[in-house]
């Protein structure tokens, strides 16, 4: 059995692909990589087919993660059939996903798995800022990834 998770932001070139790389790495460290499939997508399609933002990729690379193969994709309603868990980076994307989600779909905020994050905490969009925003995103997704892996482990065991 493969557990499937999709991480979703607006354009799928910054936050969600960074989170995808970190979550895959964390799953590998916990010995769960062969049992879990991780994808990412955007609610918008304007970047579909594009590589990750070079600042996001540089931040990942500088910290030992690989995001070089990433190509942006758009999340569509029929994708809910493919995933056990869909995680949004912010409340706007969460609302968008919940409007199209079939009953019974598990759609949550990514940071809801970080025990130190306040309720409703988001991963901010670093696109219009400098490198410090990408470093912040990396720290936030690292903090939540451990909780996501624990949740997934509980679900598959």
Task: Tell me if residue 125 is catalytic.
Answer: yes
Question: Does 24 participate in catalysis according to the annotation?
Answer: no
* SS3 label, residue 113: helix
Q: What is the DSSP letter of 49?
A: T
Q: Which residues pair with 38 in a beta bridge?
A: 5
Check if 84 is active-site: no
Q: Catalytic: which of 15, 24, 55, 73?
A: 15
Check 9, 24, 73, 114 and give the catalytic one: 9
| CA pair distance 137, 126, nearest whole angstrom | 7
Given 53, 90, 114, 125, the catalytic residue:
125
Which residues, at least 6 apart from 49, have a Cβ–Cβ distance to it below 8 Å?
Answer: 71, 72
Counting every residue written for the chain, the total comes to 157
Q: Catalytic residue positions?
A: 9, 15, 125
């Amino acid at each position: 059995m493969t557990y499937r998770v999709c991480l979703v932001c607006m354009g799928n070139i910054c936050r969600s692909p960074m989170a995808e790389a970190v979550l895959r790495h964390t799953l590998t460290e916990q010995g769960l990589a062969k049992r879990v499939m991780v994808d990412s997508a955007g609610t918008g399609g304007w970047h579909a087919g594009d590589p990750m933002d070079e600042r996001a990729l540089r931040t990942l690379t500088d910290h030992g993660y690989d995001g070089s193969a990433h190509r942006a994709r758009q999340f569509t309603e029929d994708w809910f059939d493919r995933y056990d868990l869909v995680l949004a980076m912010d409340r706007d994307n969460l609302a968008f996903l919940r409007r199209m989600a079939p009953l019974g779909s598990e759609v949550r905020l990514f940071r809801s798995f970080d025990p130190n994050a306040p309720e409703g905490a988001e991963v901010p969009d670093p696109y219009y800022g400098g490198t410090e925003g990408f470093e912040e995103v990396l720290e936030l997704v690292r903090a939540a990834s451990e909780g996501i892996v624990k949740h997934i482990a509980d679900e598959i065991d």
